Structure 1
Amino acid sequence: MSKPIVAVPADIRFFTETNWHCAQNQYLQAALDVSGVMSFIIPAFEHGNETDAILDRVDGLLVTGSATNVHPSLYGQDAREEDGPFDPGRDATSLPLIRRALDRGIPMLAICRGIQELNVALGGTLASEIHEQPGIWDHRKPENVHRDEAFGIRQDVFIKEGSCLARYLGAGAVQVNSLHRQAIAEAAPGLQVEAVAEDGTIEAVSVINAKNFAIGVQWHPEYWAKTDTPSRQIFEAFGDAVRAYAGAKTTIVAAAE
């Protein structure tokens, strides 16, 4: 059986005087090397993408992190300059893919910006500049350090007993590399909180009554997926779900023939 394929919504980046549709290497490499799946980067158009046509051709959805934030208008708030930068093409691509993938039972892993998109797609809200809130730690990426150090695993999150994540990582404290200035404010009605930081910040969610694997994490398991056990276990579980979905789809097609 050939490797299954996951859709990865692109980010829009402007350089060499033009827009590019991009995805960070770490996510694609972790998907290939640890999940055992290939990636199709989906162009981040504000209009024109056909969600079902995309999902017909893939076996999973990987919603990655990004340097941009979900536009506040999508969760009923006014946009402030400090809430940016924004990427309307990414928003217009990811949110419909998330909703439809869940409807169709297509496995999904959402990371960093991805967990925030998942929350907004299902009706939740986000909080900006959370480090300014009383009692909330500074979860932002450290400045003026090497990238490997910035993404170092150093923060505890606490996985809830009986949660979906507990099946793969166990319940209790797990050390992660969580780097963000936004976070879930109100969790969407369709989401279950899976893990929190010591300050109460929501760090992982799952979709209630999901038809398939549907988990979002605020941290970055892609960065150390080859060497860190919890990071690897998340990508392995996603890969297993994608392969199972692809196998079932192949069986249905074969039976129809």
Structure 2
Amino acid sequence: MSNSNIGNKKQTLRKPVVLMSMGSQERKGHDYQVMTHKYIVPLVEQSDCVPVLVPTCCGIEDLEQYLDMADGVYLTGAGSNIDPTLYGQENETPGKGQDKDRDNFDIPLIKAAIARGLPIFGICRGMQEINVALGGDIYQKVYAEPGFNDHRENPEDPVDVQYSPAHGVRPIQGSWLQQLLGDEIRVNSLHGQGLKNLGKGIEAIAHAEDGLVEAIHAPTLSPFLFAVQWHPEWQAAKNPDSVKIFQAFGDACRAQVKKKQARALAA
């Protein structure tokens, strides 16, 4: 290979591939694996990554093969709650749906992605999965806990009202998130559950006005492991804070691509 071809190869950076684990949904007697449009679009448009939708209904036999192709992992929100037995509690919300296939796929996925040093970004349920995977637990009813506000949406409201800004979130002073977003942002709020005791290596990086953990990272475990309790994916292109968050995740995934390509060139 000529020197000019080597130089061209170095300059070509492919788009990062990001795994998105799907969830279970029953429709008219059929089981579906689904992923909501609103989560996919900002990963493509703001993060500039290529999504790979991963079914969670077939177990973890092929997990490592999925990870071989991945430059990042994106854990989205969902309508289901995590099985409380996974964090040592009895179920306090039996009327709320669960998705044990997703639980049983995502928890090993998180651990394996951390072991590989892959960037991880979690939203709502995804943040709670990260905490549980690392040994933390959850408030199953934040709204019933003394001192906390009700962070749920009104199910009777139109969707655009449900996802409108509901309260403030303050990043930790001096943190990279504070440098990215500023001293306070306004976020939507559509969750009944929240983080209680943090898992090993996890640090709170932002709090709601009532003190509830709204964002986490794990700087001792991963170059980029970041998750939020609100929904930045909602109309992300119209929200400057959401754009910054998705761009930061995309940048972390591009850094992973560069590392892989550098190793391949050195081999």
Q: Does 1:220 align with 2:231?
A: yes
Q: Is residue 170–residue 208 contact of structure 2 (8 Å, CA) maintained in 1?
A: yes
Q: Is residue 169–residue 185 contact of structure 2 (8 Å, CA) maintained in 1?
A: yes
Question: Could you tell me which of 150, 163, 168 is aligned with 1:138?
Answer: 150
Deviations 1:195-216 (A, max 9, x none): 1111111111101313321101
Q: Alpha-carbon deviation of 1:50?
A: 2.7
Structure 2 CA distance for partners of 1:13 and 1:90, relative to 1, 3 Å = same
Q: Alpha-carbon deviation of 1:81?
A: 4.5
RMSD over aligned Cα, in angstroms? 1.4
Q: Is residue 45–residue 92 contact of structure 1 (8 Å, CA) maintained in 2?
A: no
User: Percent of pairs identical after alignment?
Assistant: 34
Q: Does 1:182 align with 2:187?
A: no
Match of 2:163 in 1: 151
Match of 1:238 in 2: 249
Deviations 1:101-139 (A, max 9, x none): 111110110000000000000000001121112221110
Q: Is residue 93–residue 140 contact of structure 2 (8 Å, CA) maintained in 1?
A: no
3-state secondary structure, aligned to 1:212: coil
Pairing 1:1-257 to 2, within 5 Å after superposition: 1-45=13-57, 47-82=59-94, 84-170=96-182, 172-256=183-267
Structure 2 CA distance for partners of 1:229 and 1:109, relative to 1, 3 Å = same
Q: Alpha-carbon deviation of 1:87?
A: 0.2
2:202 and 2:42 mapped to 1: Cα distance? Answer: 25
Q: Is residue 216–residue 226 contact of structure 2 (8 Å, CA) maintained in 1?
A: yes
Q: Is residue 195–residue 203 contact of structure 1 (8 Å, CA) maintained in 2?
A: yes
- CA radius of gyration, larger in: 2
1:42 maps to amino acid: V
Structure 2 CA distance for partners of 1:81 and 1:159, relative to 1, 3 Å = closer
Structure 2 CA distance for partners of 1:100 and 1:120, relative to 1, 3 Å = same
Q: Is residue 74–residue 122 contact of structure 2 (8 Å, CA) maintained in 1?
A: yes
Deviations 1:150-173 (A, max 9, x none): 101231011101223223213x22
3-state secondary structure, aligned to 1:35: coil
Gaps of 5+ in 2: 1-12
2:224 and 2:121 mapped to 1: Cα distance? Answer: 8
Gaps of 5+ in 1: none
2:178 maps to amino acid: A
2:88 and 2:32 mapped to 1: Cα distance? Answer: 29
1:127 and 1:83 mapped to 2: Cα distance? Answer: 16
**Divergent runs of 4+, >2 A:** 45-51, 79-84
